[in-house]
Amino acid sequence: MRHALARREKRIASLAAKLGNALAVPCDVTRPDQVHHAVQSAIKHFGRIDALVNNAGQGLHGEIEDIGIDDFRELLDLNLVAPLVLMQAVIPIMHQQGAGSIVNVSSGATLATYPGSAAYTSSKSGLNMLSSVARLELAAAGIAVSLIHPFVTATEFYGAVKSGAETARAQEADMVSFAHKPELVAQTILDLIRTGAAQADLAPAAFGGSFKS
């Protein structure tokens, strides 16, 4: 049983139809009221929430002196504040159940240092610490909080950055030959849910990670 959230209603409705026993609910995760509605919809439909995957996110490429402050605030709202809002929405339910799993999707880019990445990696580094503390606080309640550091993945990510689109596209072109398939990331997330492990990374050693293909 799956509960899919996204802003594009037609797209997630199509996905839910392919998955079978799935519920598609339009949701902007930066809107706490919409998050609350989505969580309540899941409880009404399925009766429980066993796992939360916080995978909404966006990139922003720009040198420190060029980062737009409004853009940065919006990035933090999506990449860091929204995951906290979602966690706070499901944790009471998982407490009542006596179990649950939360997987926060960070980035392999936080495992190294790259010019132009400060805005994005600082938002994801904040998510790393949020996840680590949540794991410590919630362990006794049977709630496992895990973190995944994906590497370059063949998705729409680079085409949807908040700023620095040309540079992002150039980076994508340079890395397309060794970009991971989304299925690898999905399988790794499922493994984290099953095992409750603290984290997994898909970044090769040359990029600060430990992944071996």
pLDDT along the chain (213 residues), means of 10: 55 65 82 94 91 93 95 97 98 97 96 94 98 98 97 70 65 68 94 98 92 84
Q: Are residues 24 and 107 in the same domain?
A: no
Residue 39 domain-assigned (yes or no): yes
Q: Are residues 85 and 131 in the same domain?
A: yes
- Provide the domain limits for residue 175: 49-207
Residue 102, number of CB atoms within 10 A of its CB: 26
Q: Are residues 71 and 21 in the same domain?
A: no
Q: Are residues 42 and 72 in the same domain?
A: no
Residue with the two structure tokens 């936080």: 110
- Can you tell me the distance from the alpha carbon of 209 to that of 150, in angstroms, rounded to the nearest whole number? 10
Q: Are residues 66 and 163 in the same domain?
A: yes
Residue 212 domain-assigned (yes or no): no
Q: Are residues 122 and 39 in the same domain?
A: no
Q: Are residues 40 and 144 in the same domain?
A: no
| CB 130 within 8 Å of CB 86 | no
Q: Residue 65 sits in a domain of what CATH number?
A: 3.40.50.720
Residue 20 domain-assigned (yes or no): yes
Sort 121 into a burial class: Cβ within 10 Å, 0-12 / 13-18 / 19+.
buried
Q: Are residues 181 and 92 in the same domain?
A: yes
Residue 171 domain-assigned (yes or no): yes
- Can you tell me the distance from the alpha carbon of 126 to that of 128, in angstroms, rounded to the nearest whole number? 5
Residue 213 domain-assigned (yes or no): no
Give pLDDT, residue 10.
Answer: 66
Q: Are residues 118 and 147 in the same domain?
A: yes
Written as one string, the DSSP assignment of the chain is -EEEEES-HHHHHHHHHHHSSEEEEE--TT-HHHHHHHHHHHHHHHS---EEEE---------GGG--HHHHHHHHIIIIIHHHHHHHHHHHHHHHHT-EEEEEE--GGGGS--TT-HHHHHHHHHHHHHHHHHHHHHGGGTEEEEEEE--SBSSSGGGG-SS-HHHHHHHHHHHGGGPBPHHHHHHHHHHHHHH--SEEE--BGGGT--B--
- Can you tell me the distance from the alpha carbon of 200 to that of 204, in angstroms, rounded to the nearest whole number? 12
How many domains is the chain built from?
2
Please identify every residue annotated as catalytic: 106, 120, 124
Residue with the two structure tokens 């949540």: 134
Last residue within a domain, chosen from 11, 27, 47: 47
Q: Which residues pair with 147 in a beta bridge?
A: 104, 199
Sequence-distant (≥ 6) Cβ neighbours of residue 137 within 8 angstroms: none
Give pLDDT, residue 9.
Answer: 60
Q: Are residues 132 and 35 in the same domain?
A: no
Specify the pTM.
0.86
Give pLDDT, residue 6.
Answer: 52
Q: Are residues 19 and 124 in the same domain?
A: no
Residue 38 domain-assigned (yes or no): yes
Residue 150 domain-assigned (yes or no): yes
Residue 25 domain-assigned (yes or no): yes
Q: Are residues 172 and 106 in the same domain?
A: yes
Sequence-distant (≥ 6) Cβ neighbours of residue 50 within 8 angstroms: 97, 99, 100, 101
